[in-house]
Copies of this chain bind each other. A is one copy, B any other.
């Protein structure tokens, strides 16, 4: 609930840990540049918007010269892809961890826990939702493909959990119900983002849970 202004992306926990204070090798410095650019992009894209963020502003914020920016082979689009992946991976991680921790057998608990994790991932810092559901949309075909990919991941998780709970339901591999549910959650999140004043995250959580209650009920019959 707090880290609203952290400016950091949660995901990359390890990896680029340079201990002392200065760069090490050229590769390490380049990696840090990319990292700073990614963080700055997350900030700026969610604050002033993707289309309103020129490269030089991005570079200034990241403390990277425009020359290095291009030497690194970056473009604004690629940066968005980087950020988008980070954000969705974070959400995936949250959900998968919640499911891994959830009781294997007590099926009725698993889905609510997953929903809570999912909602928290996108709402603990509003920028996550904004990035994933507003700013990254409609930029390019590649980005759309990334979005589709991410949706498929969640779609698969949903299908698995439904099947675990209701093995006899007709939610087979070719059923589009999981796709529909992913879209429903996306829209609920957008609605949450667009509602002013912003309702508590709990409202979104309840809406999603209610949706799943209804659907699971419907599948049982």
- Residues of A near any B CB (own CB < 8 A): 134-139, 144, 148, 151, 175-177, 179-188, 190-191, 194, 207, 210-211, 213-221
Q: Which 7 A-B pairs have the closest CB atoms?
A: A183-B187, A138-B138, A218-B218, A217-B218, A214-B218, A180-B184, A176-B207
| A139 CA to B50 CA, complexed, in Å | 10
Q: Does the CB pair A148–B194 fall under 8 Å? A: yes
Smallest Cβ distance from A190 to chain B, in angstroms? 8
Residues from chain B with a CB closer than 8 A to the CB of A183 are: 183-188, 190
Interface of chain A, main secondary structure: helix
13 A-B pairs besides A137-B138, A151-B187, A183-B188 with CB distance below 8 A are A138-B139, A176-B188, A179-B187, A180-B184, A180-B207, A183-B183, A183-B185, A184-B184, A186-B187, A215-B215, A217-B219, A217-B221, A221-B221
Q: Which of A148, A175, A183, A188 has the most CB of B within 10 A?
A: A183
A134 to B143, CA, bound (A): 12
Which of B179, B186, B210 has a CB less than 8 Å from the CB of A177?
Answer: B210
Contact of A213 among B135, B151, B216, B218 (CB under 8 A): B218
Q: Given the complex of chains A and B, what is the CA–CA distance between A55 and B184 in angstroms?
A: 35
In the bound assembly, the distance between CA atoms of A180 and B208 in angstroms comes to 8
> A188 and B194: CB pair below 8 A?
no
Q: Which residues of B contact A138 (CB under 8 A)?
A: 134-139
